[in-house]
Structure 1
Amino acid sequence: MPPRSEEPRRDAMGSRRGSSRDGRGTDPRSGEPGVGGISDARAYTPRGRTIREGGGTARTGVGGAEQRRTPRGGRSGDPFRPALQVLDGGRSGAARTGRREAPAGARGGVVRTVSARPVREPFDDDEVPPGRRPGPRRPERPAARRPVRKKRRPPKLADPRRRLRLGTLLALALFTTIGIRLVYLQTVDTPAFADGGLVNRLTVVELPAPRGTIYDRTGAPLAHSIEARYVYADPPKVKDRVATAKLLSPLLGVPASDLADRMKERTLPGTSIKSRFEYLARGVPIDKAKQIMALELAGIGTHRDERREVPGGDLAANLLGFVSQDMIGLEGLEAKYDDLLRGQPGRKRYESGRGDLAAPIPGGFSETTPPKPGSSLALTLDRDLQFQAQRILSTQMAQTRNSVGAAVILEPSSGEVLAQVSYPGYSTAAPTKVNSPADREDAATSFVVDPGSIHKAITYGAALQEGVITPDTVFPVANTITRGGVVFKDTHPANGQRMSIPGMLAFSSNVGTIEIAEKLGPDRLIDYQKRFGLGQRTGEGMPGEAAGRLLPANEWSGSSYGSVPIGHSVDATPLQMAAAYAAIANDGTYVQPHLVKATIDPEGKQTPAAAPRTWPVLSPQNATALRRMLEAVTTIDNGPGERATGLAAAVPGYRVAGKTGTGSRYVDGKLQPGAVGSFIGMAPAEKPRYVVAVFVWSPGGEGSALAAPAFREIMGFTLHHYRVPPSATDKSPKFEVFPR
């Protein structure tokens, strides 16, 4: 077999390396054979450089011998020419470098050039690809001398793993900070941030508290609250205030200008928040509210409310009074006991949307304070008795013009007021429709008058109790008497005849009464006036009650000795005088008149009112004697000239004891024209159950003719209403006016 060294070496693709058969083995620059193909291309790559560029030497040798090789022509090597070349079959390699013969049996034709390790430059890379052996370096043609350029070191690239770790740490730190802040906001600052914006999202709706009911003694309601509606506006949502007000005005009975003003946008006091709720009307009937809602007006709504109603219309209106639209008592018992009757309104606050989503937010803030209903009052009034007394008094008063009247019905034993009537009256549904605010007052407690002759019962009672007179006392009575330059005379002159005490009461003798009072003295008379309750408020329960006035003894003038005993120079109210006669009817014991029987809490528990004050005024014997003498006023009828003044007050079938009176009225210290006619009586006289007082003031002086008939009808109805047996077995005693 021919030596393998004679065969040209082939590359991996099967082509012969270093062959010049087709001319591809020739060096393109030197023209030397043996270099070409892939090996030549490999030699031009940077990884092929193994010698210093610019004309360095190479050491070659065979068997460890080293030889120096200088590029041909003395030029420096191409900087991109490989430092090692694979020689073609040893033809040119033998000429340039020493070659060692291969031993027999070995691969022939291959010459290996062994060179010393070259000096390594910064950009040299003499590593040989795996599986390739470096061959002998082919001498290079000397290159043209080129200027040597300073090599710059490329920038050192950062380690990507370090960048990744740094980025991860930064991201974790950022997320940790955000997480801690979120936890802090959700746990620590949640209430502060939530409350900060809560006010702007809250809708507040007032929940009215039902006002307590006022009952009569039988449990019938005199004034109570019924379900109604209130109409409100949400000002920011009202589109056209003027047009909306014009539509609501006829339904609410409120001027359109007032409604338009209430719909203006306002800022809540102390805040920058705009009001979302303004009342337009309270206590609107439900049917009216339905008509309003049917209009579908933007920003207008209704909600549950209450309205005060007096079933009797004007029944006891002067006593009960009335309330405002906000259910606050303004007059009468409604005002006096407003704190008791008025409940505590509730309130509902909740988060709601705005605009078209103005509805509660599910799961949002919601707080409800339930309303607390007010307590109720149980009065001593009897609804039926009150109604009839009002009817009777109004009928009698219709005979006069511009007059004022009052009527009181008392139960002497308990001091309970069964009826208390004022004229003129009014309807609580329209409290402003009166001629004067005074027409709404309770005349029984605010109508201050000179009581006149009805005061004589106090003078005679004091004289009996002090022993100045007895029921059998008789003395001559002149037609007139002068005191302090003032002449006092009798309407029924006795012409100096001896007159009995019952006769003096029956004919209302001024002269006889003044003579008895002189024996009593001013101090004792004033003391008994106080014992009978004059000069001080009764404490019945009505607001604005007048106390009246008594003339102190040190202020008496000469005429006072004549005027005070017969009921002048004394200021009293109809209720005070009624309570004084009730003391006579109650065997001489005064019982404070009162209107309130009990209070009833929202759960229905009744608490009786405080017991009325009581004190003795007369002994039972003297009280009985005085009642018998007062019967003469309604019974003596001895023909023309000898008829008692109170015959018109007699109640058929019952013994009646009472007294007529004619007094004066002063307003702001000025004497008013006309006169005050009155009658106060009790029945049955043998054991009185009720006391009725009637007062009538009229500019024309017709009161005296109206009071007694009104008393008769009111007392008659009261006795029949309570089924009091007639006095058939106890006839009235016979009285002598002028005993012989």
Structure 2
Amino acid sequence: MRGRSRRFAILRSYAARVVAVGCALALVASICLVRMVSLQLMGGATADAAVQGRTLKVTTTAKRGRILDSSGIVLAQSVERYNIIANPMYAAEFEPVECTEKTESYCHQIDGKPVGATGAAAVARLLATVLDMSAARIGAKIVDPNSQYAVIAKDVTPEVKRRIDELNLGGIVYGELTNERVYSGGTLLGPILGAVDADGAGVAGLEQTLDDTLTGTDGYMVYQQGNGGEQIPGTLTDQKDAVDGSDVTLTIDESVDWYVKKALTDGKEKYKATWGIGVVYDLQTGGLLAIEDTDQYEAGSDDVKLNASRAVSEVFEPGSIGKVFTMAGMVQEGLHSLSDKFTVPSTIEQDGQTYKDASTHGAEHWTLAGILKNSSNVGMIMAAENFSDEKRYEYLTKFGVGQATGLDLSGESAGILTSSSDWDLRTRNTVLFGQSYAMNALQITRAIATIANKGVLPQMRIIASTTDADGHTTENKVSGGTRVIDESVAAQMLNAMESVAEGYYSIAKVDGYRVAAKSGTAEVAGSNGSLTSIISDWSAILPADNPRFVVTVAFKDAEGLGGLTAGPVACQIGEFLMQKYNVSPSPERTDAIPVDW
């Protein structure tokens, strides 16, 4: 019995150990199974999270369109630049590699010597050897070890970016592609071209008014990045190409504009003027060849964000140039012909108001053409006896007074012209000779171009064409303009203006070419707000026998009236135009309308 009991006890003990081992194995198996499931489920999620953490959707920036002159010279363009980015978290852990034969391809040193620091300080010291920044300034940007993105420098050139790549800081410092707007001409056309803001959007000049045309559409790329922000090969999963903005070609001729700028600058110095303005218009193409002033504002600068071109923003009384507009209206209405005879004193009284000519003279025997040649205010009032206020206003309006040019230039003023119903007894007469209303130089140019254009007020243009990213070019066509006076009337006025110009040939002429012109002088507000300053202007058509160009020049506070200051400068510009465009010399004049009797 005892033997059997002992054997039973042994078996029971053995069974208990087997059960215990089995339970232990089952527990281990269960743990392994749970762990395996966990790895399968959680590990996949962790891997997915890692991939997502490395995956970026990166914007590919579209280039802004270029602005070119009429011959294809690039005036404004966007060039390849890089923003230099650092990862402060990785910078904090940076350990420079000592340069040896084995490590020379990826080591770190400064002027052949060890970096002498670790972490962000070492990174800053290395970057300072390439960037125009101190190590202290760079280090201040990358001191936060919890940050992974810090902008070190903006808009560096590709050359600088390559030199940074050679510092062996991959994974810590890298470059992000961007664009910078650059202008080739400096102060040439500065306010006309304008500027862009920090985000590349136009905020002044043509950059602003043409912003929709010049701005492209950004694209994107989706890929996984390495530690330094670089694309891991083979991980690109989606992309959309950027579409660059359209190029815009202007009617402006850069060489003409340069010459106008120089002539104005020289003229300002010679005649001690406060400022000067110059405009050149090509009747053959309907395009402006030059719009300049003597201000020295560089395109793209803060100055042009605050200052428009004087040619579009500065308005002033045209002075005696305005006699062309009202005299043409009188002839168009059949009140006179240019050969009508007048006896003109130097003063006249009308409605209790006294008017006088610029210089005292006796009773002169002048034709209407002679009144224009001698720029007689009194003669204009005499000739306008039956020219109603409504008609005076109508023709000023028809010649574009008080209206914008339609060029959509930034900062353009429409000028000033009050309704005839608001004129007082003096204003109704002063408008006859270019006073009591105001125009800018572009508007004066367009009004005089009406005479050169056989009586049609032209639709001026500054945009010649646009070319999209696919190379498709669209011409900017303009209408034929609006008829103001008959062709025969325009011919008479052109003839009379040629007689005006002949009176200045001793100081203002273009050798070999006939010129038709009118000068003007007007009082404007000085620095103290009172009428203490003078605008001297001159607008010329040349050649007078076959009109091709209209040139307008104006100076403020020059030492001399319009024909003596603005006239010579306008003719200097005219001489350049005749040579550049190889214009045939003029035949001798044989059809002059008499100016006296």
Name 1:394's counterpart in structure 2: 265
* Secondary structure class of the residue paired with 1:421: strand
- Cα distance in 2 for partners of 1:379, 1:546 equals 21
Name 2:324's counterpart in structure 1: 457
Name 1:632's counterpart in structure 2: 499
- Out of 403, 406, 413, the position equivalent to 1:539 is 406
Return the offset for 1:252.
6.4
* Secondary structure class of the residue paired with 1:598: strand
| Equivalent position amino acid for 1:224 in 2 | Q
* Secondary structure class of the residue paired with 2:62: coil
| Equivalent position amino acid for 1:341 in 2 | L
Q: Is the 8 A contact 1:645 1:660 kept in 2?
A: no
- Out of 289, 298, 318, the position equivalent to 2:191 is 318
Name 2:249's counterpart in structure 1: 378
Name 2:589's counterpart in structure 1: 731
Structure 1 residue 677 corresponds to structure 2 residue 536: yes
- Out of 373, 376, 392, the position equivalent to 1:509 is 376
Structure 1 residue 688 corresponds to structure 2 residue 559: no
Q: Is the 8 A contact 1:416 1:593 kept in 2?
A: yes
Return the offset for 1:264.
7.0
Return the offset for 1:288.
4.6
Of residues 256-265 and 520-529 in structure 1, the stretch that sits farther from structure 2 once superposed is: 256-265
Name 1:6's counterpart in structure 2: none
- Out of 287, 302, 312, the position equivalent to 2:175 is 302
Q: Is the 8 A contact 1:548 1:573 kept in 2?
A: yes
Q: Describe the superposition over 1:11-56 as per-residue Cα deviations: whole angstroms up to 9, x where unpaired.
A: xxxxxxxxxxxxxxxxxxxxxxxxxxxxxxxxx9747xxxxxxxxx
| Equivalent position amino acid for 2:595 in 1 | V
Return the offset for 1:515.
2.8
Structure 1 residue 662 corresponds to structure 2 residue 521: yes
Return the offset for 1:456.
0.8
- Cα distance in 2 for partners of 1:248, 1:705 equals 61
| Equivalent position amino acid for 1:628 in 2 | N
Name 1:618's counterpart in structure 2: 485
Structure 1 residue 499 corresponds to structure 2 residue 358: no
> Where does 1:206-245 land on structure 2 (aligned, <5 Å)?
207-237=60-90
Name 1:594's counterpart in structure 2: 461
- Cα distance in 2 for partners of 1:360, 1:531 equals 64
| Equivalent position amino acid for 2:286 in 1 | G
Return the offset for 1:589.
1.0
Return the offset for 1:621.
0.8
Name 1:719's counterpart in structure 2: 578
Structure 1 residue 469 corresponds to structure 2 residue 336: yes
Larger Rg over CA atoms: 1
Return the offset for 1:327.
3.2
Of residues 332-341 and 306-315 in structure 1, the stretch that sits farther from structure 2 once superposed is: 306-315
Name 1:111's counterpart in structure 2: none
- Cα distance in 1 for partners of 2:243, 2:561 equals 51
Q: Is the 8 A contact 2:281 2:551 kept in 1?
A: yes
Return the offset for 1:712.
0.5
- Cα distance in 2 for partners of 1:123, 1:310 equals 108
| Equivalent position amino acid for 1:673 in 2 | T
* Secondary structure class of the residue paired with 1:631: helix
- Cα distance in 1 for partners of 2:519, 2:483 equals 25
- Cα distance in 1 for partners of 2:66, 2:411 equals 22
Name 1:422's counterpart in structure 2: 293
- Cα distance in 1 for partners of 2:387, 2:122 equals 78
Q: Is the 8 A contact 1:646 1:659 kept in 2?
A: no
> Where does 1:406-417 land on structure 2 (aligned, <5 Å)?
406-417=277-288
- Cα distance in 2 for partners of 1:287, 1:124 equals 92
* Secondary structure class of the residue paired with 1:330: strand
The verdict on how the C-alpha distance between 1:172 and 1:613 changes in structure 2, with shifts beyond 3 A counting, is farther
- Out of 151, 174, 196, the position equivalent to 1:278 is 151
> What number of residue pairs does the alignment pair up?
569
- Cα distance in 1 for partners of 2:411, 2:512 equals 39
- Compute the TM-score of the two structures, normalised by the length of structure 1: 0.67
Return the offset for 1:692.
0.9
Q: Describe the superposition over 1:374-414 as per-residue Cα deviations: whole angstroms up to 9, x where unpaired.
A: 11001111222222222222211222556222111112254
| Equivalent position amino acid for 1:738 in 2 | D
The verdict on how the C-alpha distance between 1:714 and 1:666 changes in structure 2, with shifts beyond 3 A counting, is same
- Flag the structure with more relative contact order, 1 or 2, with Cα contacts below 8 A and sequence separation at least 6: 2
Q: Is the 8 A contact 2:271 2:560 kept in 1?
A: no
- Cα distance in 1 for partners of 2:260, 2:317 equals 24
- Compute the TM-score of the two structures, normalised by the length of structure 2: 0.81
Q: Is the 8 A contact 1:229 1:302 kept in 2?
A: yes
| Equivalent position amino acid for 2:73 in 1 | A
> Where does 1:177-192 land on structure 2 (aligned, <5 Å)?
182=40
* Secondary structure class of the residue paired with 2:393: helix
Q: Is the 8 A contact 2:313 2:412 kept in 1?
A: yes
Q: Describe the superposition over 1:176-227 as per-residue Cα deviations: whole angstroms up to 9, x where unpaired.
A: 99669947996xxx6xx77766664456655432221112222222222333
- Cα distance in 2 for partners of 1:181, 1:318 equals 66
- Cα distance in 2 for partners of 1:453, 1:241 equals 72
- Cα distance in 1 for partners of 2:456, 2:335 equals 20
More helix by share: 2
> Where does 1:83-162 land on structure 2 (aligned, <5 Å)?
none
| Equivalent position amino acid for 1:399 in 2 | K
Structure 2 unaligned regions, length at least 5: 93-118
- Cα distance in 1 for partners of 2:391, 2:268 equals 38
Q: Describe the superposition over 1:498-524 as per-residue Cα deviations: whole angstroms up to 9, x where unpaired.
A: 311121111110111123334212211
| Equivalent position amino acid for 2:217 in 1 | Q
- Cα distance in 2 for partners of 1:474, 1:280 equals 76
| Equivalent position amino acid for 1:569 in 2 | S
Return the offset for 1:555.
1.4
| Equivalent position amino acid for 1:660 in 2 | S
Name 1:341's counterpart in structure 2: 214
* Secondary structure class of the residue paired with 1:449: coil
- Cα distance in 1 for partners of 2:131, 2:13 equals 91
Of residues 293-302 and 675-684 in structure 1, the stretch that sits farther from structure 2 once superposed is: 293-302
Q: Is the 8 A contact 1:480 1:488 kept in 2?
A: yes
Return the offset for 1:345.
3.7
Q: Describe the superposition over 1:70-115 as per-residue Cα deviations: whole angstroms up to 9, x where unpaired.
A: xxxxxxxxxxxxxxxxxxxxxxxxxxxxxxxxxxxxxxxxxxxxxx
The verdict on how the C-alpha distance between 1:249 and 1:486 changes in structure 2, with shifts beyond 3 A counting, is farther
* Secondary structure class of the residue paired with 1:557: coil
Of residues 662-671 and 374-383 in structure 1, the stretch that sits farther from structure 2 once superposed is: 662-671
Name 2:418's counterpart in structure 1: 551
- Cα distance in 2 for partners of 1:401, 1:252 equals 45
- Cα distance in 1 for partners of 2:186, 2:144 equals 38
State the identity as a percent: 27
